[in-house]
């Protein structure tokens, strides 16, 4: 594995060449770091699953640099999906669309739809543009963590998660800390009306505003979708996350700044608003692991806007445990 450190343009060209030749490249996005492979190369994509330790029937998001490539991967794109794409791409949103022949079973986990995202991070976009200029059509990239673990938001976390599993020709591009800190909003666009599968920075309110409709949010008993981000236990640190403020002495504690630390608890983050909460959430869970804390109380916020995504990740990290 090589950690890039030369001139940015050369690094990106090297990384794009590595992708074209079938290697893996971990790269920053505005949400979290992704572990990329050429989405048309079955062997390269199968290495993503090995490196992550992820079951192979779980689909991957294909990243492209512009909507020019959208029709290559997807078909029968509904009007509302085009509206969302025009408004929120490049950005922290993934659309699930009916797949074209290019989206093989090894990308979609055998489903008839494909997840597509155009990220807004400069390095991610430059990498995708360079990769496409070399003939590539899309980069499959899940979050760059081991299966079920917390998504990495900086290069050190990527190295800790995956360093020992990457090969010599694989690369990690350094883009500092991810601005948003939690994964993209996923919207199922395969039905007459959109359904939110995973809340994110692009909030339900923002989407409703653009589409002038009321949205459905996925409830796991309604729609049979194959998405590990939808499993009950996901994004978890080693310690047990508890989604309330009843921390005992020695427990970790994460809450908005105005909430006082219970006596003896170890404050891991005091975000001043929801943006900062999303930014600090995974970082504070990793800090808890570094401190070998066995319990981390993470206090949910009001369930509006970005708050829905923050609460979703807190509940997922807790595995549904409430005490
Ligand atoms: O912000 C993000 O979305 C990051 C960055 C790297 O782009 N990527 C990411 O990928 O979070 P991943 O694989 O860790 O999570 C994507 C989720 C998974 O739960 C996956 O199963 C689901 O999206 N997904 C992908 N394609 C899908 C599809 N065709 N249908 C339903 N769910 C899909
Ligand atoms: Mg993930």
Tell me, what's the pLDDT at 227? 52
Position 163 scores a pLDDT of 96
Task: Report the nearest atom of ligand 1 relative to the CA of 119.
Answer: 7
144 and 201 part of one domain:
yes
Residues 249 and 307 in one domain: yes
How many angstroms separate the alpha carbon of residue 258 from the centre of ligand 1? 33
Task: Give the Å distance between the CA of 316 and the centre of ligand 2.
Answer: 12
Note the ligand closest to the C-alpha atom of 35. 1
Do both 149 and 278 map to the same domain? no
What is the position in ligand 1's atom list of the atom closest to the CA of 229?
19
Please report the atom of ligand 1 found closest to the CA of residue 182: 1
In a domain, 233, yes or no: no
Q: Residue 222 falls within a domain, yes or no?
A: no
Residues with CB under 5 Å of ion ligand 2 are: 143
Are 208 and 253 part of one and the same domain?
no
In a domain, 234, yes or no: no
**Which distant-in-sequence residues (6+ apart) come within 8 Å of 146 by Cβ?**
52, 53, 161, 162
Q: What is the CATH number of the domain that holds 295?
A: 3.40.50.11030
CATH value at residue 54: 3.90.870.10
Sheet containing strand 185-188, strands side by side: 2-3, 171-172, 25-27, 34-38, 139-140, 61-63, 113-117, 93-98, 185-188, 195-198, 216-217
CA-nearest residue, atom 22 of ligand 1: 227
* Cα–Cα nearest to 140, from 112, 108, 165: 108
pLDDT value for 218: 74
Residue 226, in any domain of the structure: no
- Residue 262 in any domain: the answer is yes
Q: Do residue 205 and residue 256 come from a single domain?
A: no
Judgement on whether residues 195 and 252 belong to the same structural domain of the protein: no
User: In order along the chain (323 residues), what is the average pLDDT of each group of 10 residues?
Assistant: 66 97 98 98 98 93 97 97 98 98 97 98 98 98 96 97 96 97 97 95 96 77 46 76 97 98 98 98 97 97 97 93 76
Neighbours of 146 (CB within 10 A): 15
Asked whether 183 lines ligand 1 (CB < 6 A), one says: yes
Range of the domain at 273: 240-318
Q: In the 8-state DSSP scheme, what is residue 56?
A: T
Q: Is 229 in the pocket of ligand 1 (CB under 6 A)?
A: yes
Tell me what pLDDT residue 9 has. Answer: 85
Distance 35 CA to ligand 2 centre (A): 10
Per-residue pLDDT at 214: 83
Distance 290 CA to ligand 1 centre (A): 27
The closest-lying atom of ligand 1 relative to the alpha carbon of residue 35 is 6
The structural domain count of the chain equals: 2
Mutate to test the pocket of ligand 1, among 26, 114, 142 (most ligand atoms within 8 A of CB): 142
Write down which residue in 217, 232, 252 finishes a domain. Answer: 217
Q: Is 91 in the pocket of ligand 1 (CB under 6 A)?
A: no
Look at residue 299 and give its three-state secondary structure: coil
pLDDT score recorded for residue 320: 81
pTM for the model stands at: 0.94
Q: What pLDDT is stored for residue 3 in this prediction? A: 55
């Amino acid at each position: 594995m090589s950690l890039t450190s030369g001139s940015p343009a050369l690094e990106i060209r090297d990384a794009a060449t590595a992708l074209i030749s079938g290697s893996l490249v971990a790269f920053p996005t505005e949400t979290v770091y992704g572990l990329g492979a050429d989405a048309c190369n079955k062997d390269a994509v199968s290495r993503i699953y090995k490196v992550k330790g992820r079951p192979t029937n779980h689909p991957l998001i294909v990243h492209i640099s512009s909507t020019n490539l959208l029709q290559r991967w997807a078909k029968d794109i509904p009007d509302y999906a085009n509206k969302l794409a025009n408004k929120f791409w490049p950005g922290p949103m993934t659309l699930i669309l009916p797949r074209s022949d290019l989206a093989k079973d090894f990308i979609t986990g055998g489903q008839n739809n494909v997840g597509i995202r155009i990220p807004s991070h400069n390095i991610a976009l430059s990498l995708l543009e360079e990769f496409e200029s070399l003939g590539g059509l899309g980069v499959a990239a899940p979050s760059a963590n081991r299966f079920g673990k917390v998504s990495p938001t900086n290069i050190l976390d990527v190295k800790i998660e995956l360093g020992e599993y990457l090969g010599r020709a694989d690369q990690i591009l350094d883009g500092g800390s991810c601005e948003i800190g939690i994964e993209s909003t996923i919207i199922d666009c395969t039905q007459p009306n959109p359904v939110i599968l995973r809340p994110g920075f692009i909030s339900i309110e923002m989407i409703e505003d653009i589409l002038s409709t009321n949205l459905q949010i996925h409830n796991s008993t309604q729609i049979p979708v194959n998405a590990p981000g939808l499993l009950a236990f996901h994004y978890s640190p080693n310690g047990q996350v508890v989604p309330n403020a009843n921390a005992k002495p020695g427990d970790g504690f994460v809450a908005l700044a105005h909430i006082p630390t219970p006596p003896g608890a170890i404050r891991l983050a005091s975000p001043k608003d929801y943006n900062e909460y999303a930014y600090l959430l995974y970082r504070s869970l990793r800090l808890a692991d570094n401190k070998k804390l066995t319990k981390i109380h993470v206090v949910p916020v009001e369930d509006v806007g970005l708050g829905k995504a923050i609460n979703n990740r807190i509940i997922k990290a807790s595995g549904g445990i409430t005490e």
